[in-house]
Amino acid sequence: MELTTVWFALIAVLWIGYFTLEGFDFGVGMLLPILARNDRERRVMINTIGPVWDGNEVWLLVAGGATFAAFPEWYATLFSGFYLPLLLILLALIVRGVAFEYRAKGHRDEWRTRWDAAIVVASFIPSLLWGVAFANILRGVPIDAHKEYVGGFFNLLNPYAIVGGLTTLLLFLTHGALYISLKTDGEIRVRARALALKVGLAAAGVAVVFLTWTQAMTGDAGSAVFFVLAAAALVGGLGAVLRRREGWAFTGTFAALALAVAGLFWALFPDVMPTSLSDGVGLTTSNASATHYTLTIMTVVAVIFTPVVLCYQAWTYWVFRQRIAVHHIPAEPAEPVEAPTA
């Protein structure tokens, strides 16, 4: 197997890790005002992802770095052509991280309400735009003979891409609701489980439309297998919700996201960024890759450090595996009153 194919597969694995792990904490962020009834319940929800959300984002950083090193032409065209949506995603991720840290720095309701709103919006934007971006990559964008993107922002807002954005948005909401039902106890758990079933049904409908559209446009027998298995995993997860088996339900949405992303990359290969122009030049694993020597060094580094990272992140989830409930959250002390000055 050629190293270009190996690194295409490794980048696909990194995106699978990002969507399955960051997907649920995006969902938790978007559901903050829906499932929580008061500040202590909001703190319960945030604490479920507090130990892991920043680690989940590492998958995105590594995926971007691997793309830059292994396929520099892909990286350059992607980040120049998709500059505005990727900038919005970056700003949202920055605001989201700041909001998690800063909401606890003040005791006033207005302070926390503003940061909670920031968490919701900053979770919503990437959830929608990642689906839009991936759908456009699959569909093909205007890339000229010089391998440069020559379209505009509104070229990205086509019906297929919008359906892709709604698919990731609804799947992340379902994934997040199931994570909350798995990680909490009490009334939040009950609300999350009920909401997961409702949102999951909508996600299943939109996902079927998107994956069928993708299969008809670019897929083959291999991608069809992935998409069918993804649909079966999602249906199985929703069935587990009815039986109140949160662990199996979360596993179902986890597997559905993983299989769907794997199918999308299968349908894309050997292209990495196809062109929609008749006289343009699309990017493939061959004409967009780095040198063989670069890929060889990267492969050695990946073989050494990837198992370490996976073991560390698995250990983190194991340590913080217990459920959280409102009684675990201490009441906030009253805001200190300054002594009058003489």
pLDDT of residue 339: 42
Coil, strand or helix at 337: coil
pLDDT at 1: 65
Which mean pLDDT values do the consecutive 10-residue runs of the chain (342 residues) have? 90 95 94 91 91 89 92 91 92 94 83 92 96 92 85 84 96 96 92 94 94 89 93 94 92 96 94 87 90 92 88 89 81 50 44
- Half-sphere exposure for 138 (CA within 13 Å, toward CB): 30
Helical ranges in the chain per DSSP H: 3-30, 32-35, 39-49, 53-70, 72-81, 83-102, 109-139, 159-183, 187-218, 221-242, 246-268, 292-319
Backbone dihedral angles phi then psi of residue 52, each to the nearest 5 degrees: -125, -15
295, HSE (Cβ side, Cα atoms, 13 Å)? 21
Going from the C-alpha of 91 to that of each of 49, 85, 94, 95, the distances in angstroms are 20, 10, 5, 6
**Contacts from 335-339 at CB under 8 Å and sequence distance 24+?**
335/107, 335/108
Non-local CB neighbours of 274 within 8 Å, separated by 6+ positions: 137, 138, 140, 141, 143, 268, 282, 283
Could you give the C-alpha distances from 196 to 52, 119, 192, 261, in angstroms and in order? 21, 20, 6, 21
CA 53 remoteness from chain centre: 11
CA dist 43 and 41 (Å) reads 5
Measured in degrees and rounded to the nearest 5, phi and psi for residue 143 equal -115, 125
